[in-house]
Amino acid sequence: MTDKPTETMTDSVDTTASSPAGATASGGAKRPSRRPGVLNWAVWLGRRLLLALLTLWLCSLVVYLATAALGDPVRAILGRDYETSPERVAMIREQLRLDEPVLMRYFGWLGDLLTGNLGSSVVNQTPVGELIGSRVLNSAVLVLIAAAIMIPLAIVIAMISANYRGRRADGVIQVILLTLAGLPEFVVGILLVAVFSTTVLHVLPAVTIAGGGAPPWANPASMILPVLTLVIAVSPYVSRIVRASLLEVLDSDYVELARLKGVPEAIVMRRHALRNAIVPGIQVIALQFAWLAGGIVIVEYLFAYPGIGASLVDAVRNSDFPVVQALAMIIAGVYVGVNLIADILSILVNPRARTAISS
């Protein structure tokens, strides 16, 4: 009676070892294919790209119809010369395709936009790409410098505030952040000019100095106040959102477990709390970064910075619709692109989101 169960167990083990499943589980086993996960990622990314393109198309439609609804652009451009210069009237109408229906003009403009043809300025007959190319580069440099300072500064302030939660230091930081968040950017710029350039100190230029066609960063001192204005205008929002996320993560169970294991508070804050609280921070950073693309107009105009702000103000004042349309689409493209990048980064740093897409 003791031999029969032994033989049965032996037969069962041998059968399992000689079965195809056992062979698959051995050293020559095939790894599960990752194609479904890659395909899901491709589908998700393709869907987001389609939504981004749809958003840009809707923006182009709104921009073109809004400029077309402002009235007769030729009369706005020529002013008093409208009645006395029929040749110029005919030339501008032909350039702007005003003799065609609105939808035909829109699709013609959209086709040129997709091929990189931004048209020509109706004021000085210069191609729009040549007219705004250096201005777009100057604004991009200003935004990138401000973002490079703003992002780490806001995160550090949020970490300090969260670390001193409920103490006097946290209260002081929150009061300062709320005060700065309530000030418009042009007020911040005027205060900085009053402090550092006119009334109190005379250490920084009040306007951007860039002569001889040199870029603004050729004189770094003149870029300090514009950059500082943008940093002060944006940092409070980012810091408050990151602080709120940090406080929520610091109260979680796994952070308490790390503390009970004796992990130093600095490591808990940096490796555990910040890593899990960064997703909302990425979203708000993207929103503020996108705001910089449009909000920079006021700051550039205030400091006479040679960027898209001055070009947009001049184009609106002169009714130069091709320039207005091109700059509006560039700003819209920055908004859509930054939000798309933020969505991708949020998925990459969130394990649950990655698993949900890959599965």
Question: How many whole angstroms separate alpha carbon 101 and alpha carbon 123?
Answer: 23
Amino acid at 358: S
pLDDT in tens, 13-35: 444 444 444 444 444 444 554 55
In a domain? residue 24:
no
Same domain membership, residue 154 and residue 79: no
Helix (H) or strand (E) holding 295: helix 274-302
82 within 8 A of 75, measured Cβ to Cβ = yes
Same domain membership, residue 68 and residue 184: no
Same domain membership, residue 270 and residue 156: yes
309 within 8 A of 298, measured Cβ to Cβ = yes
Query: How many domains are there within the chain?
Result: 2
**CB neighbour list of residue 305: distance below 8 Å, 6 or more residues apart:** 138, 142, 208, 216, 223, 226, 299
pLDDT value at 5 more than 80: no
Full residue range of the structural domain in which residue 324 is found: 133-358
The more confident residue out of 4 and 297 is 297
In a domain? residue 38:
no
pLDDT in tens, 149-188: 988 999 889 888 888 888 888 889 989 998 988 888 888 8
In a domain? residue 315:
yes
Same domain membership, residue 309 and residue 243: yes
Same domain membership, residue 165 and residue 268: yes
Q: With CA atoms as reference, report the closest residue to 141 among 288, 281, 296, 344.
A: 296
Same domain membership, residue 73 and residue 180: no
Same domain membership, residue 145 and residue 95: no
In a domain? residue 103:
yes
Query: pLDDT tier at 61 (50, 70, 90 boundaries)?
Result: very high
Same domain membership, residue 158 and residue 56: no
Same domain membership, residue 301 and residue 194: yes
Same domain membership, residue 311 and residue 182: yes
pLDDT value at 214 more than 80: no
